[in-house]
Structure 1
Amino acid sequence: MSKVFVVDRSGKPVTPAHPGYARLLLKQGKASVYRRYPFTIRLKNVVEHPHVQSLRIKLDPGSKTTGIAMVDDASGEVVFAAELSHRGHAVKASLDARRAIRHSRRQRKTRYRKRRWANRKNKKKGWLPPSLESRIANVLTWVRRLSRYAPLQALSQEVVRFDMQLMENPEVKGVEYQHGTLAGYEVREYVLAKWNRQCAYCGKTDVPLQIEHIHPRANGGTNRISNLCLACEQCNTAKGTQDIAVFLKKKPEVLKRIQAQAKAPLKDAAAVNATRWALFERLQQTGLPVEVGTGGLTRFNRTSRELPKTHWLDAACVGKSTPDTLVIQEVRPLVIKATGHGNRQMCLPDKYGFPRTSAKGAKKVKGFQTGDMVKAIVTKGKKRGTYIGRVAIRGSGSFNITTTTGTIQGIGYQYCRIIHHADGYSYENGERYSSHA
């Protein structure tokens, strides 16, 4: 079961507690709520929770979602799990939109804005695009945050989902790798992702798929990754050793698509590979030892333990330190979505790129800002009641609160109390894992 984080009176992390024990401490007044996400309590008495147990954070970085798991290496218990959704695609879309507006302004006669591309030639060593930098920043934020609420002894990171060099040159590690227990896991995982887990010839899904050589080996084809695709048994048998141009002579559009897709790299894998070492170097700066592993090893650990594929379970299976048995019964992951901290755009532009709205107001009103989670206890009037949710501020001090059941408008600020400040993320509880599900 997911544990509750615990800090002592001085704010130092101690061993996470069982939710039932945490409720008892809160009910008896021996602890208070310290943070809502992730849920953390603070002890009022130093001797209440003296034992300190070292834990390990395991990371499965992805292009869209990163799996996070906190594991006790000694017992194999998964203490905490989360799935962190990135906003790299939103960052890129925003930059593209801004670039388009600037470009349109420069194409007209009103060339009041000087060209700026001349000063962008020399980039600092290790520079990454903002869309990739945001992914690294999200992961580092949560590693630092969790290290403040739990005693950590080490980190584990899946450095690369696919070992590209190894797939292009299988002899790089010797023949022992090809014939070992991990043989084929790297290549098959990459091919499954690249071809969207469907037959390249007929498009069937949810059927057993086989690795197919586009240019048959019998005719001199190689095992290079650019010569591999997925095929169902029926298509694979029908193609046999035929050249793909002969096999698909009546389907020229399918032939063209396959030839183009075979040469194109996997975009998400390229994004992960571009950030893997940058993330690794920044994790090392935390001072904790960092263990690394590949996607093939992660999948081997997961399948050998007969676990379903989820982001947080993949994270729990990263690296050679993975315990033989993982205790994951009733673990409920925290689903985290990066939403950003707003933007610096002062007003909205029209189609020509000129301001069409007035400048936005103050970010905070009466100590509240949009996105804060509040608890409002209204004691009088038509809206009497208790409301918990995200607040949207107004300059008048009359706020809107979005709860799980809807949006309540016109709640005075004097009834509101902040229970979780806006931190650039939204939260919800994922599905509880059960072996009987």
Structure 2
Amino acid sequence: MSNAFVIDSDYKPLNPVHPAQARRLLTQGKAAVYRRYPFTIVLKRVVEQPEVQPLRLKLDPGSKTTGIALVNDANGKVIFAAELEHRGHAVKDSLERRRTVRRSRRNRNTRYRKPRFQNRRRKKGWLPPSLESRLANILTWVARLCRYAPIAALSQELVKFDMQLIENPNIAGVEYQQGTLQGYEIREYLLEKWGRACAYCGAQNVPLQIEHIHPRANGGTKRISNLTLACEPCNTAKGTQDIRVFLAKKPEVLKRILAQVKKPLRDASAVNTTRLALLERLKRFGLTVECGSGGLTKYNRTTRRLAKTHWLDAACVGKSTPAGLSQKGIVPLHILATGQGKRQMCTTDKYGFPKQHKERKKKFLGYQTGDLIKAISPKGRFEGRIAIRHRPSFRLGNVDIHPKYIRCVQRADGYEYKQKGVRHAPPHV
């Protein structure tokens, strides 16, 4: 599993240690558990002149999942790895529900605060809340890891591989748009949009050809919205037929293709929109920021014969990737962003009328929903996240537990954790 982070009694980061060494320090009483996820111990003394090895934090930002890897450039060892799953879609759905409730409220003859859209201005660099949440999650974990480890540099995957720009850096205008880059970008776009499979029969792992949905012989264009991918048998069978004639006996396939043509690449758009904003905010940490391309990441991963995962992609970002990248025994921490709760004081039905009022206090008896706790009660031993009730009984899974049997392990911080490949959590007392 990943190494354990170490800080001294002045909360200065030291070199991460193997979990066995962390367990030994805890057993000998020289350290205490500071944080469960990521597992961090705090020494019971001050280290005056620590000899720390600078580490590099690498990021592979994605629309749904971001890979995180902490690498020692000197020896090529991966110290820590994680996969951060975002909640951009949940944020968007929540805003849609809130908008629906407000719209229904305005249609009723009840008193409400009138909308004031005319005097609202968006500040420079504004991003939609669903995209802002992705940036906030990444920056939160960069700041958190900087507190627990001696990080001296950052690496971020910024752009995709651009063969035409590499061949001729000064190319621009029509030649740039219609040269080698055009065919490369179009094919990659179609492979991403159509799932690397034949649009007509769904065949995968076969050579695919670029197919015109509306044949050029019948007036079809070369626009990207008129292109799809097809295997050779399907492309030959379709010929110059209209797609509605060719798929007359497959109405479901026809409906899916026509819907997919109009569907944008939302995930790719989300990454492209936030990549420059993320770079500018990473520079505010005062560390050296290295930018890499997706093509270089793939090259580093394939030449080192590593599996295709988010955290290994992060470890291979940039030219600083060591030739001998060692990831033996590393088990990534899966981090799921859940948010800090809602500010809504009452829940509503589908018509927008209140049906259940909530207490105004978020905490009760020192606990709040999402706290990770341990409990030893007459019903047995339990461990997990609780849901508080404003009465002396908290909910843990399907069991009600009295607070007097509960001990808090880690406070709710807006994330859920799971150690992939490990049945139990990192070593703890």
Match of 1:429 in 2: 419
Give the 5 Å matches for 1:303-382.
303-378=302-377, 382=378
Aligned-CA RMSD value? 3.5
Q: Which amino acid in 1 is paired with 2:413? A: D
Q: Which amino acid in 2 is paired with 1:204? A: A
Contact 2:213/2:243 (8 A) holds in 1: no
Q: Is 1:119 the counterpart of 2:114 in the alignment? A: no
Structure 2 residue matching 1:158: 3-state secondary structure = strand
Match of 1:138 in 2: 137
**Partners of 1:328 and 1:247 in 2: CA distance:** 49
- Report the TM-score, using the length of structure 1 for normalisation: 0.83
**Partners of 1:388 and 1:266 in 2: CA distance:** 41
Q: Which amino acid in 1 is paired with 2:206? A: P
Q: Which amino acid in 2 is paired with 1:212? A: I
**Partners of 2:408 and 2:382 in 1: CA distance:** 12
Kindly, what percent of the aligned residue pairs are identical?
A: 60
Cα 1:249–1:123 change in 2 (3 A) is: same
Q: Deviations over 1:291-346 (max 9, x none)?
A: 11222222222222222211111111112222223211221010000111111100
Q: Which amino acid in 1 is paired with 2:273? A: A
**Partners of 1:54 and 1:237 in 2: CA distance:** 58
Cα 1:162–1:347 change in 2 (3 A) is: farther
Q: Is 1:412 the counterpart of 2:405 in the alignment? A: no
**Partners of 1:221 and 1:319 in 2: CA distance:** 42
Structure 1 residue matching 2:125: 3-state secondary structure = coil
**Residue 145 of structure 1: how far off its partner (Å):** 0.3
Q: Which amino acid in 2 is paired with 1:288? A: L
**Residue 396 of structure 1: how far off its partner (Å):** 2.2
Gaps of 5+ in 1: 433-437
**Partners of 2:325 and 2:358 in 1: CA distance:** 54
Structure 1 residue matching 2:15: 3-state secondary structure = strand
Q: Which amino acid in 1 is paired with 2:125? A: G
Q: Which amino acid in 2 is paired with 1:214? A: H
Q: Is 1:250 the counterpart of 2:246 in the alignment? A: yes
Match of 1:394 in 2: 389
Q: Deviations over 1:332-363 (max 9, x none)?
A: 01000011111110011233322222232521
Give the 5 Å matches for 1:107-186.
107-110=107-110, 112-120=112-120, 122-160=121-159, 172=172
Structure 2 residue matching 1:92: 3-state secondary structure = helix
Match of 1:435 in 2: none
Structure 2 residue matching 1:143: 3-state secondary structure = helix
Q: Which amino acid in 2 is paired with 1:85? A: E
**Residue 33 of structure 1: how far off its partner (Å):** 0.8
**Partners of 2:68 and 2:274 in 1: CA distance:** 17
Choose 308-317 or 41-50, whichever is displaced more: 41-50
- Report the TM-score, using the length of structure 2 for normalisation: 0.85
**Partners of 1:23 and 1:48 in 2: CA distance:** 23
Q: Deviations over 1:235-271 (max 9, x none)?
A: 35656xx55x557742266677656645653111011
Cα 1:37–1:200 change in 2 (3 A) is: same
**Partners of 1:423 and 1:386 in 2: CA distance:** 24
**Residue 46 of structure 1: how far off its partner (Å):** 4.2
Q: Deviations over 1:38-89 (max 9, x none)?
A: 0001122445994311111111111111111111112221111111111110
Q: Deviations over 1:145-178 (max 9, x none)?
A: 01100110111111245779979x9955999xx9
**Partners of 1:258 and 1:352 in 2: CA distance:** 36
Match of 1:208 in 2: 206
**Partners of 1:78 and 1:187 in 2: CA distance:** 36
Match of 2:17 in 1: 17
